[in-house]
Amino acid sequence: MDIGVIGLGHMGSAIARNLLSAGHRLTLWNRSPEKARPLVDAGAALAEHPADAADGDFVITMLADDRAVDAVVRGDGGLLSSAGGAVHVSMSTIGTPFAARLARAHAEAGRRFVSAPVFGRPDIALSGGLFIAAAGPPADLAACQPLFEEIGRRVFIVGAAPETANLVKLCGNFMMLSAIEAMAEAMALAERGGVAPATLLDILTGTQFDAPVYRNYGAILVERRFRPAGFPAPLALKDMDLVDDAAGAARVPMPVLGILRDHLLTAIARDGEDVDCTAIAESVAAAAGMADEAGAPRSRNAPARLAAV
């Protein structure tokens, strides 16, 4: 297949590397072109403008946010000015109103557009193991099937309106962060009562909570492994802001969302832009009087105030 990949951050680079290894012809574009160098050395072509990456079968966008996608679609040399007929496969986590606007703009320009946001981190993307939630016109989704099979281990078809796939992705990220928050609170309670968080996690993931989100993020919480970030807190905050927009528009109160946003903001303000989203656990620990002194790791086993519990 002839595939354009626009956006060579953590996710886009991993997707491109996987497609290149599978023998596909790639044309790349990134705002900072130097990031394309390792992939160009491995055989990919580099486009001067985003539109030049849309001459083949598909053009994937994997960019930070709505603004970045808008720039490469409608900006100078953007995808809508391309002479090619590639299906635009939008894989970024973007807002639902924006995805609907993108779909309309493509339809008005006689171009094909599907939303296909993904679940999974960059290491999963590298091995072609992402989960894809896809939505768009059925014929375009059918055309994308061979591409989805290269990128993901499973594709879920959500419906014909592209923005519904983005809504599913936002709901998934909300539930993932809620699970991290709930685990952090339960671990703080357990630790205060003299139960090591590792013991709690072992028991709960061995019984009612035997799911990847609890096993994987739970291990990060137990080890307090907040760097290097797999899912940086600023990206998670962006996603919760998009959930907030969707919830406001739909008139759906989501009270837990406010806590998640506050804890993400605290983590970023305290620990910097490069901290993982799991660092929201430190807000929970601090509120329970379990904050570090000068960053020293605290003992997970010490029942610090057991007498008072």
In angstroms, give the least distance from the CB of 91 to ligand NAP. 7
Q: Which residues neighbour 141 within 8 Å (Cβ) at sequence distance 6 or greater?
A: 114, 134, 135, 157
User: d(Cα 287, Cα 275) in Å, to the nearest integer?
Assistant: 19
Q: Which of 188, 206, 207, 205 is nearest to 197 (CA)?
A: 188
**Contact residue for ligand NAP among 93, 164, 205, 283 (CB under 6 A):** 93
**Count of residues engaged in binding ligand NAP, rule: CB under 6 A:** 25
Q: Which of 24, 169, 238, 263 is catalytic?
A: 169
Interface segment toward ligand NAP; rule CB under 6 A; list 7-15, 132-140, 145-153, 209-217: 7-15
Give whichever of 72 and 183 is closer to ligand NAP, judged by the CB atom.
72
In angstroms, give the least distance from the CB of 241 to ligand NAP. 11
Q: Are strands 118-119 and 130-135 parallel, antiparallel or unpaired?
A: antiparallel
**Contact residue for ligand NAP among 3, 5, 11, 285 (CB under 6 A):** 11
- Which pair of tokens denotes residue 307? 């007498």
User: d(Cα 49, Cα 11) in Å, to the nearest integer?
Assistant: 20
To the nearest 10 degrees (0 to 180), the angle between helices 255-271 and 233-250 is: 160
**Contact residue for ligand NAP among 3, 5, 10, 133 (CB under 6 A):** 10
214 counts as binding ligand NAP under rule CB under 6 A: no
Residues 248-307 binding ligand NAP (CB under 6 A) are: none
Q: For residue 276, give Cα distances in angstroms to 41, 147, 228.
A: 31, 30, 7
231 counts as binding ligand NAP under rule CB under 6 A: yes
Known active-site residue 169: yes
Interface segment toward ligand NAP; rule CB under 6 A; list 4-12, 78-86, 106-114, 179-187: 4-12
Amino acid in position 161: A
Give whichever of 62 and 187 is closer to ligand NAP, judged by the CB atom.
62
In angstroms, give the least distance from the CB of 164 to ligand NAP. 17
DSSP character for 81? Answer: G
Interface segment toward ligand NAP; rule CB under 6 A; list 37-45, 219-227, 229-237, 255-263: 229-237
Task: Tell me: cis bond preceding 297? Omega within 30 of 0 counts.
Answer: no
Give whichever of 8 and 168 is closer to ligand NAP, judged by the CB atom.
8
User: d(Cα 296, Cα 290) in Å, to the nearest integer?
Assistant: 11
Residues 25-44 binding ligand NAP (CB under 6 A) are: 30-32, 35
Residue nearest to ligand NAP (CB): 9
In angstroms, give the least distance from the CB of 121 to ligand NAP. 4
User: d(Cα 63, Cα 56) in Å, to the nearest integer?
Assistant: 20
Chain centroid, CA 100 distance in Å: 19
Sole residue written with tokens 């996603």: 239
116 counts as binding ligand NAP under rule CB under 6 A: no
Query: What are φ and ψ of residue 152, in 5° steps?
Result: -125, 160
Sole residue written with tokens 């703080």: 188
The contact set with ligand NAP (CB under 6 A) reads 7-12, 30-32, 35, 62-64, 67-68, 71-72, 92-93, 118, 121-122, 230-231, 235
Active-site positions read 169
